[in-house]
Structures are given as C-alpha cells and as structure tokens.
Chains A and B, each alone.
Chain A
Amino acid sequence: SYELTQPPSVSVSPGQTARITCSGDTLPKQYAYWYQQKPGQAPLLVIYKDSERPSGIPERFSGSSSGTIVTLTISGVQAEDEADYYCQSVDSSDTYHVLFGGGTRLTVL
C-alpha cells in the first residue's frame, strides 16, 4: 500500500513564502488535496486536484505537482496561516481508500 510523507514542521517569517511538500508513489497517478487545520477547528480544504483553489480560499494558496512530490505554496504568509496542513490522495491499487499525510505544522515566526 502507499503512504504520503510530509515534513513535521515548516517555519517562515510573515510576508515570506512557505512551501510544504508531500511525497508518495501514488501521486503520479492520483490527484492531491490539501487541508488546513487550526487548533480546535475542523479541517478546511484549500487545494484540490493538485492545484485548484476552492471558492473563498485566498490566492496566496497554490499547489503544484511533479512526479512523486506535490507542493503547497503559501505566498506572502500571514499570521493567520499558522496551522497544521495535511495532504491527501487515494490508493486504488487494490481497493479504493483515502490516504492522509502525517501533517506539517506551519509556524509563522
């Protein structure tokens, strides 16, 4: 079965660009999705189908894909972007099931 691997933490200063990676062998074949989770809140979808942004998500959030690695980029990071970020994809090699990465804590210095 497949796994998704994320760095445990990323730190950036306000106004800088944060890049959070997610790697996995399923990613060349399946789309990736990204979720933002703030303490005590439900996850919020910020990117779908590798690079699409849902309505209401700020333009500073973007996604990209290259082979086995997908990247969530947050340009001009703001203090309110401090949160845990999870990548998600699917494994349909045997039976269909959803995969989550372990999560990355974004700290805004």
Chain B
Amino acid sequence: QVQLQESGPGLVKPSGTLSLTCAVSGGSISDNVWWSWVRQPPGKGLEWIGEIYHSGSTAYNPSLKSRVTISVDKSKNQFSLNLTSVTAADTAVYSCARDVRDRGIAPWGQGTLVTVSS
C-alpha cells in the first residue's frame, strides 16, 4: 500500500524558508491523485496548505498562497513544500498525504515537527 514519509529540517530561523520533502512508496507520484501538505500547530487543528498533481497543477490555501510553493519530482517519486518568510506562527507538525478527491485524503505521513526559532 502507499506510504508517505516527510523529511527536512526540524528548526528554521524566523524570516527563513521552510523546505520539506515527501517520499512516496508503494505507489507512483504519477497516479491519478493529488499530493497534499497539511499542518497542525501544537495543540491546534488541521490546516490545509496546498496540493499538487503530477502534471504540476497546484492548488493553495488562499491564506498562505503568497508564501507557498509545492513542486513534484517524478524521477524521485516525491513532492516538496517551500514556505517562505516564516514566523513563530508557522511552527507546526507538517504532514504530507494523498488526496484521492472524492474518496478523501489518505493515507497520511506520520508528520514532522518544524519549529521556527532563532
């Protein structure tokens, strides 16, 4: 079955760029699905960041759109998140997931905590 694993720095300085990668195994990044990023600040709820299709088409949360870029690397079967100009408010567990649209978002990666601090 499809599995997803996030990787990237756990600490980012304020005003810097948060960069994460999600490796997909057990399935192809070129499947007819969308690949999503979701975050969850400590003790708070889920916030959708955005998603990408293997063609490169993207959809972003309007509240984050100016700072977010999601890209796909088909040769490595992975997709990535870049979030610029980060502040402490961007501290969260960042998770990647597969969005099968009408069949929901599943599975999810385990998530990785990214802390924004100097």
Chain A positions near chain B (C-beta within 8 angstroms): 1, 31, 33, 35, 37, 42-45, 48-49, 54, 84, 86, 88, 94-103
The number of chain B residues with a CB under 8 A from chain A is 24
Contact of A97 with B48 at beta-carbon distance under 8 Å, contacts A42-B110, A54-B104 already known: yes
Establish whether residues A45 and B104, one from each chain, have CB atoms under 8 Å apart when the complex forms. Answer: yes
- Contact pick for B102, options A31, A43, A97, A99, CB 8 Å: A31
Establish whether residues A98 and B36, one from each chain, have CB atoms under 8 Å apart when the complex forms. Answer: yes
Additional A-B contacts beyond A45-B106, A98-B59 (15; CB < 8 A): A37-B46, A42-B108, A42-B110, A45-B105, A48-B102, A48-B104, A49-B102, A49-B103, A88-B46, A88-B105, A95-B59, A98-B48, A98-B51, A98-B61, A100-B46
- Contact pick for A97, options B45, B62, B111, CB 8 Å: B62
Q: Mark B51-67, 1 if CB is under 8 A from A, else 0.
A: 10000000111100000
Give the complex CA separation of A103 and B44 in angstroms: 9
Interfacial chain B residues near A100, Cβ < 8 Å: 38, 45-48
Establish whether residues B109 and A1, one from each chain, have CB atoms under 8 Å apart when the complex forms. Answer: no
Within 8 A of A (CB), among B85-115: 95, 99, 102-111
